[in-house]
C-alpha cells in the first residue's frame, strides 16, 4: 500500500512547547485549516486534562472537517479503577470524537517505576481500555510510549503490549519515540522486526531530541509504518516533534508515497505560515521546503546558472509546495542577480542600468545599509530607473524636537516639508517619540492626496547599532516593516543619526505603498 496517513498533533503535543498557548478559537481555526489541507487525523487535545480541551471538542463537533477525523487523546485506565470508574476514559467518551487515541506503557522499566504496576497489570490496563473504546464504537489508536527504548530493553514485553492492544481490537498501533534519542537505522530495523509479529497497521510518533525527528519518521515508513504523527513546523516540547512540513514533501516527492493530492501539497507553505501566525511565533525562514529562504539564491554564480535552467541549484520546483524562488540582492551579488530580480518584477533592464544599481547597492551596503531583508528598497531602486516612473512625493526637509517637561512628561513634535501633487506641504504632528511624530507628520502631509495610505500600518521597527570597526560611515541601521492591502514589505535606512535612518526607511516604505497600492490615475 502506497498511502501514508497523516496524523497531526499540533493541537495537543505541539502546544507542549514553551511560548505556545492557544485559545479554543485558535484551535478550531487550525483544525479547519488542517482538514482543508488533507490531514486524515487531527488530534484536538486531552479532554480529561483541562476544561479548555473539553470545550474544544464540544465546539469542534459542529465543524465540517470533510475527510479528516477528529481524535481525542488520553491514557489507558488507572491500575485500581475500572474503565467506567476512570474519569479520564469517561472524558474521552464525552468528547464524542470518531477516534480515540490512548497512550500506554510499553517499556517494562516505566511500568514498574512510574506506574508502580506489575507487567501483567499493565497489559490488562491496555487491553481493557482498548476493548472499552471499541465497545463504544470508536476507532482506536494505541500510542505505545517509549516503544523503541522498551523494545531494546525487553523486546518480548514491548511486543506483548502491542499484542494486548491489537487483540483487544485496536485499529492502529503507534510506536512512539518518546525521548527522541534514536537514530534512523535503529528505528527502521525495529519497525521491520515488529512487522514480523504484528499485522495491525503501524504508525510512528517521533520527537526531535537527536535532530532526527524527520529522518526517524521517514525510516519508520521505509520499515512499514503507514501512519505518521507529528506537528506543523515541528512545534513540541523540548526541541520539538517530528516536523510534518518537511516529512510530507519528502514522502510524496522523494519516496513516491501518496500522502495528499498535488493541489493540496501546493498549500503547504501557506499552511505552515498560517499556523506560525496563529501560534504567534516568528516563522523560521530557513525551514526546508516552506521557509522564506528555502529557494533564495544569493551567490552570483548560482543566479547566473539558474537564469539558464532553474533546476541547476534547486532540489525541487518550489511551486510543488507553494513556495517560490527568490534572488537575494546584496553586495555579494553579481549583475545577474539584479537582472533576475528586475525580470521577476516585470521591469526591463539593460546591462548598463543593472551595473548602476549594483554599484549603488554595493556603495550603500558599505555605508551600512543592508538589502537582503529590505527587498522593497531594492524594488524601488529598480522602478526609479524606469523612464515613466513618477516620484509620488519629494522630501524637502524635516525638523524634530523632543522635550521632557515636569508638568507634561515626554513629548515629541515633528514638522515636515514635502512637495506633493505640485505644491509644497508643511505639516506638524505630535507623537510619543521622535520617529512616531515624524511618521505622523509625513503621513498627514500625504494622506490628503493619497488616501490609500490610511490603510497601511507600521508593524515592525528594528534598530541596529553597527560595528564601527567595520569602517561603515553610518552607525545606525533601521529596518521598517509595513503591512497593508494584503502585502508586507520592509525598507531600510542607515545614517549616523537614528532619526535620519528612520526617515529614509519610512519614506521608502510609504513610496513603496503608493507604488503597489495606489490605483492608477484615471
Ligand atoms: Zn509526543
Q: Tell me the per-residue pLDDT of 461-489, one tens digit each, with 9 for 90 and over.
A: 888 888 766 656 668 899 999 998 888 89
* Phi, then psi, of 21 in degrees rounded to 5: -145, 120
CA distances from 97 to 86, 160, 169, 487 (A): 18, 28, 17, 39
How far is residue 36's CA from residue 275's CA, in Å, rounded to a whole number? 13
| Cβ atoms of residues 471 and 459 within 8 Å | no
Tell me which of 402-411, 463-472, 476-485, 511-520 is least confident. 463-472
Distance from the CA of 332 to the center of ligand 1, in angstroms?
A: 43
Q: How many CA atoms lie within 13 A of 494 on its CB side?
A: 22
How many angstroms is it from 70 CA to the middle of ligand 1?
17
| Percent of the chain whose pLDDT exceeds 90 | 69
H-only helix segments in 168-257: 184-197, 213-223, 244-249
pLDDT at 471 (0 to 100): 57
- In this prediction, residue 304 carries a pLDDT of 79
pLDDT reported for residue 468: 63
Taken in order 467, 471, 476, 477, the sign of the CA dihedral is: negative
Distance from Cα 73 to the centre of ligand 1, integer Å: 11
Ligand 1 midpoint to CA 206 (Å): 7
Q: What's the Rg (C-alpha) of the chain? A: 29
- What are the helix (H) ranges across 326-397? 335-344, 351-367, 375-383
Q: State how far the alpha carbon of 454 is from the alpha carbons of 109, 440, 443, in Å.
A: 64, 11, 8
Cell 515541528, located at residue: 234
For residue 205, report the distance from its CA to the centre of ligand 1, in Å: 7
pLDDT(308) > 90: no
% of the chain surpassing 70 pLDDT? 98
Distance 191 CA to ligand 1 centre (A): 18
The pLDDT of residue 520 is 65
Strand, helix or coil at 171? coil
CB count in 10 Å sphere of residue 154: 17
Q: How far is the CA of 522 from the centre of ligand 1 (A)?
A: 59
> What does the pLDDT read at residue 474?
66
Residue 229 C-alpha to ligand 1 middle, in angstroms?
A: 9
Quote the pLDDT of residue 286: 95
How far apart CA 243 and CA 297 sit, in angstroms, is 24
Q: Please give the average per-residue pLDDT across 65-81, as a whole number.
A: 97
The reported pLDDT for the residue numbered 473 is 65
Higher pLDDT, 246 or 407: 246
pLDDT of residue 469: 63
State in Å: Cα 198 to ligand 1 middle: 22
pLDDT at position 441 is 95
- Alpha-carbon distance 160 to 119, whole Å? 10
| Cβ–Cβ under 8 Å, residues 518 and 449 | no
pLDDT tens readout for residues 51-71: 889 899 999 999 999 999 999
Q: How far is ligand 1, taken at its centre, from the CA of residue 250, in Å?
A: 21
- What does the pLDDT read at residue 348? 86
Residue 45 Cα to ligand 1 midpoint, Å, equals: 12
Mark residue 169 as left, alpha or beta (left: phi above 0; alpha: psi -120 to 50; beta: remaining).
Answer: left
Amino acid at each position: 500500500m502506497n498511502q501514508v496517513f497523516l496524523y497531526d498533533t499540533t493541537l495537543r503535543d505541539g502546544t507542549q512547547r514553551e511560548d505556545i498557548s492557544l485559545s479554543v478559537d485558535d484551535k478550531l481555526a487550525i483544525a479547519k485549516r488542517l482538514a482543508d489541507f488533507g490531514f486524515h487525523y487531527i488530534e484536538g487535545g486531552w479532554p480529561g486534562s483541562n476544561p479548555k480541551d473539553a470545550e474544544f471538542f464540544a465546539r469542534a463537533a459542529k465543524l465540517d472537517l470533510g475527510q479528516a477525523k477528529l481524535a481525542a487523546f488520553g491514557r489507558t485506565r488507572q491500575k485500581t479503577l475500572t474503565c467506567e470508574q476512570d474519569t479520564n476514559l469517561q472524558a474521552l467518551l464525552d468528547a464524542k470524537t470518531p477516534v480515540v487515541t490512548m497512550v500506554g506503557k510499553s517499556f517494562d522499566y516505566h511500568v514498574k517505576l512510574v506506574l508502580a504496576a506489575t507487567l501483567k497489570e499493565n497489559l490488562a490496563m491496555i487491553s481493557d481500555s482498548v476493548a472499552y473504546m471499541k465497545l463504544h464504537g470508536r476507532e482506536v489508536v494505541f500510542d505505545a510510549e517509549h516503544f523503541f527504548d522498551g523494545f531494546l530493553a525487553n523486546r518480548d514485553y514491548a511486543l506483548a503490549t502491542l499484542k494486548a492492544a491489537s487483540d483487544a481490537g485496536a485499529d492502529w498501533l503507534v510506536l512512539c519515540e518518546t525521548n527522541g534519542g534514536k537514530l534512523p537505522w535503529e528505528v527502521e530495523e525495529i519497525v521491520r522486526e515488529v512487522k514480523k509479529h504484528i499485522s495491525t497497521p503501524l504508525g510512528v510518533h517521533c520527537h526531535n531530541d537527536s535532530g532526527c525527528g524527520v529522518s526517524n519518521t521517514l525510516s519508520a515508513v521505509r520499515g512499514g509504518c503507514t501512519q505518521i504523527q507529528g506537528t506543523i513546523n515541528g512545534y513540541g516540547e523540548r526541541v520539538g516533534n517530528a516536523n510534518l512540513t518537511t516529512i510530507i514533501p519528502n514522502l510524496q516527492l522523494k519516496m513516491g508515497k501518496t500522502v495528499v493530492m498535488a493541489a493540496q501539497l501546493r498549500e503547504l507553505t501557506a499552511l505552515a505560515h498560517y499556523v506560525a501566525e496563529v501560534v504567534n511565533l516568528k516563522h523560521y525562514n530557513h525551514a526546508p521546503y516552506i521557509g522564506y529562504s528555502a529557494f533564495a539564491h544569493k551567490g552570483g554564480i548560482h543566479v547566473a546558472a539558474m537564469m539558464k535552467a532553474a533546476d541547476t541549484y534547486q532540489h525541487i520546483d518550489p511551486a510543488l509546495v507553494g513556495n517560490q524562488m527568490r534572488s537575494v540582492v546584496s553586495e555579494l551579488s553579481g549583475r545577474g542577480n539584479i537582472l533576475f530580480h528586475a525580470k521577476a518584477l516585470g521591469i526591463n533592464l539593460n546591462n548598463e542600468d543593472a551595473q548602476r544599481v549594483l554599484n549603488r547597492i554595493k556603495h550603500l551596503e558599505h555605508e551600512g545599509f543592508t538589502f537582503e531583508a529590505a527587498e522593497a528598497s531594492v524594488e524601488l531602486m529598480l522602478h526609479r530607473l524606469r523612464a515613466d516612473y513618477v516620484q509620488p512625493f519629494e522630501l524637502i526637509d524635516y525638523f524634530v524636537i523632543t522635550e521632557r517637561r515636569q508638568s507634561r512628561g515626554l513629548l515629541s513634535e515633528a514638522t515636515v516639508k514635502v512637495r506633493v501633487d505640485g505644491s509644497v506641504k508643511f505639516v506638524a504632528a505630535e507623537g510619543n517619540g521622535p520617529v512616531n511624530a515624524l511618521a505622523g507628520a509625513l503621513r498627514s502631509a500625504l494622506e490628503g492626496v493619497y488616501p490609500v495610505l490610511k490603510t497601511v500600518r507600521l508593524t515592525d521597527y528594528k534598530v541596529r547599532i553597527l560595528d564601527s570597526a567595520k569602517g561603515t560611515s553610518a552607525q545606525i541601521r533601521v529596518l521598517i516593516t509595513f503591512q497593508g492591502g494584503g502585502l508586507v514589505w520592509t525598507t531600510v535606512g542607515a545614517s549616523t543619526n537614528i532619526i535620519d535612518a528612520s526617515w529614509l526607511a519610512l519614506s521608502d516604505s510609504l513610496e513603496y505603498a503608493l507604488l503597489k497600492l495606489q490605483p492608477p490615475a484615471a
